Amino acid sequence: MCCSEAVDIARRAIEICNACRYCDGYCAVFQVMKLRRSFSDADVGYLANLCHSCRNCYYACQYAPPHEFAVNVPASFSRVRAETYQHYAWPRSLAFLFRRNGVFVALTVAAAIALVLISVIALQMPGRNFEPYLGSEAFYAVVPKSIMTFVAIGALGLSLIVLTVSVGRFWRDIGGRPADAEISGALWSAIGDVLTLRNLAGGGHGCNDRSESFSRARRYCHHVMFYGLLLCAAATAVAGFYDHVLHWPSPYPLSSLPVLLGAAGGSAMIFGAGGFVLIKMRGDPDPQAQGPGEPDYTILALLLMVAGSGLVLLAFRETAAMSLLLAVHLGAVLSLFAILPFSRLVHGCYRAAALLRAAMELKGRGGQ
């Protein structure tokens, strides 16, 4: 990473933390921090993405505001993370999308829904617009399967390539794999950290979302939304198997596995994203970076739209509204795939890379 004011402020904060070490056992950040005597720009970016922003250290810190040192690790790391996403974005010419992310996400969603809606109208037989479609392959009567499959796989595939290149550049900068690292043990440790989100427990009692009191709400919301997304992915995979291998075209009965998985996943995403909105609205603003909150709220609104439109489509798929609802749902999903590498959702990939690097480093030094 290139030097910036945000990086300098964060470096000053962690140098004070490294001298104090009161928060040593709070999370992986402080375990890795104590292995260093100095911190390069890449080190600062690494620690910022390793941070889960539980905010325990802010309320425990004797040097936090109003102390003259004004140490605010969560806010400092939040600003550095935002710069990380811009710095490692690929192609570089699109890094600016992170600076106006709320506007970018909103425009992408509107454009995708409009594009799908216009396509649906154009593909319909004259006089059949927004009429009920029943029976086997009803969805494909609205949008042909070949078009639906090609656009979805193309958009998601391209986004995953862009995201892989971006995170790969971050991985190289933070040191990649240490020469003495045990890859297998470290990999399982990092996967465990990702799946359990144990670093959102802070010092063991949960996050400090509103004040010095502890709460596990953020951890629960993360779990519900993450596993909701996995259930939706599983529903899509099972539906693809049914369609392409068993030749059972959609839509499927309400009691079928794809519908049950999708309904459970969509409901979980709504609860998780809705919970995050409430947490952010009620949260203490002091331990977070100051500035417009539109990126977080906009991406949460998109996740709510994806899940909500899918559930509404399920409920009204045998009515005249099905074509319109399918267009809205497909547009929301398409926009989610398209904005993936340039949205707040990339934090999961950067954090996973930082967790793997930390697991390798700590195991190599006997820290775990």
Question: Both 84 and 102 in a single domain?
Answer: no
Per-residue pLDDT averaged across 123-127, rounded?
Answer: 64
Question: Both 109 and 77 in a single domain?
Answer: no
Question: Tell me, what DSSP letter sits at residue 37?
Answer: S
Per-residue DSSP letters for 15-31?
HHHHHH-TTTTS-HHHH
Higher pLDDT, residue 88 or 175: 88
Q: How far apart are CA 66 and CA 346, in angstroms?
A: 33
In this model, does residue 56 exceed pLDDT 80?
Answer: yes
Question: Both 85 and 132 in a single domain?
Answer: no
pLDDT band, residue 120 (cuts 50/70/90): confident
Per-residue pLDDT averaged across 333-346, rounded?
Answer: 94
The average confidence (pLDDT) of the chain is 89
Question: Both 106 and 56 in a single domain?
Answer: no
Query: Which pLDDT score, from 0 to 100, does residue 11 have?
Result: 96
Give the rounded percent of residues in the chain with a pLDDT score beyond 70. Answer: 92
**Is 69 part of a structural domain of the chain?**
yes
Q: How far apart are CA 332 and CA 341, in angstroms?
A: 16
pLDDT tens sequence across 207-233: 988 888 889 999 999 999 999 999 999
Query: Which pLDDT score, from 0 to 100, does residue 359 have?
Result: 92
In this model, does residue 336 exceed pLDDT 90?
Answer: yes
Question: Both 85 and 105 in a single domain?
Answer: no
Question: Both 245 and 325 in a single domain?
Answer: yes
- 143-182 burial, b at 16+ Cβ within 10 Å, e below that, comes to beeeebeebeeebbeebeebbeebbeebbebbeeeeeebe
Could you give phi then psi for residue 65, rounded to 5 degrees?
Answer: -50, 140
- Please list the helix, strand and coil fractions of the chain in percent, rounded to the nearest 5, in that order: 70, 0, 30
Question: Both 151 and 263 in a single domain?
Answer: yes
Q: How far apart are CA 115 and CA 335, in angstroms?
A: 11
**Is 367 part of a structural domain of the chain?**
no
**Is 183 part of a structural domain of the chain?**
yes
Per-residue pLDDT averaged across 129-137, rounded?
Answer: 69
The residue behind tokens 């949960």 is 206
Angle at 89 between CA 86 and CA 91, to 5 degrees: 130
Q: Which of 57, 89, 121 is the last residue of a domain?
A: 89
Per-residue pLDDT averaged across 107-121, rounded?
Answer: 90
Roughly what angle, to the nearest 10 degrees, separates helices 145-173 and 41-50? 130
pLDDT tens sequence across 281-324: 888 888 877 554 445 789 999 999 999 999 999 999 988 888 88
**Is 275 part of a structural domain of the chain?**
yes
Host domain of residue 44: 5-89
Q: Which of 89, 118, 147 is the last residue of a domain?
A: 89
Q: Count CA atoms closer than 13 A to 104's CA, side-chain side.
A: 19
Query: Which pLDDT score, from 0 to 100, does residue 294 have?
Result: 45
- Tell me the β-bridge partners of 215: 207
Question: Both 21 and 112 in a single domain?
Answer: no
Among 267, 334, 341, CA closest to 302: 334
Question: Both 35 and 128 in a single domain?
Answer: no
Say if CB 45 and CB 174 are below 8 A apart.
Answer: yes
In this model, does residue 140 exceed pLDDT 50?
Answer: yes
Q: How far apart are CA 231 and CA 262, in angstroms?
A: 6
Burial of 254 (0-12, 13-18, 19+ CB in 10 A): exposed
Q: How many CB atoms lie within 10 A of CB 39?
A: 19
Beta-strand ranges (E) seen in the chain are none
What global pTM score does this model have? 0.91
Give the rounded percent of residues in the chain with a pLDDT score beyond 90. Answer: 65
* Both structure tokens of 349: 């990939």
Query: Which pLDDT score, from 0 to 100, does residue 291 have?
Result: 52
**Is 179 part of a structural domain of the chain?**
yes
Per-residue pLDDT averaged across 319-346, rounded?
Answer: 93
**Is 330 part of a structural domain of the chain?**
yes
Q: How far apart are CA 248 and CA 252, in angstroms?
A: 8
Q: How far apart are CA 305 and CA 153, in angstroms?
A: 20
Question: Tell me, what DSSP letter sits at residue 215?
Answer: B
Question: Both 237 and 294 in a single domain?
Answer: yes
Question: Tell me, what DSSP letter sits at residue 252?
Answer: P
pLDDT tens sequence across 241-293: 999 899 898 889 999 999 999 999 999 999 999 999 999 888 888 887 755 44
**Is 114 part of a structural domain of the chain?**
yes
Domain count, the chain: 2
Q: Which of 55, 72, 89 is the last residue of a domain?
A: 89
Per-residue pLDDT averaged across 111-128, rounded?
Answer: 80
Per-residue pLDDT averaged across 329-352, rounded?
Answer: 95
pLDDT tens sequence across 164-213: 999 999 999 998 766 555 677 888 999 999 999 988 887 778 898 888 88
Question: Both 85 and 110 in a single domain?
Answer: no
Query: Which pLDDT score, from 0 to 100, does residue 179 have?
Result: 58
Question: Both 227 and 206 in a single domain?
Answer: yes
Q: How far apart are CA 167 and CA 351, in angstroms?
A: 10
**Is 368 part of a structural domain of the chain?**
no
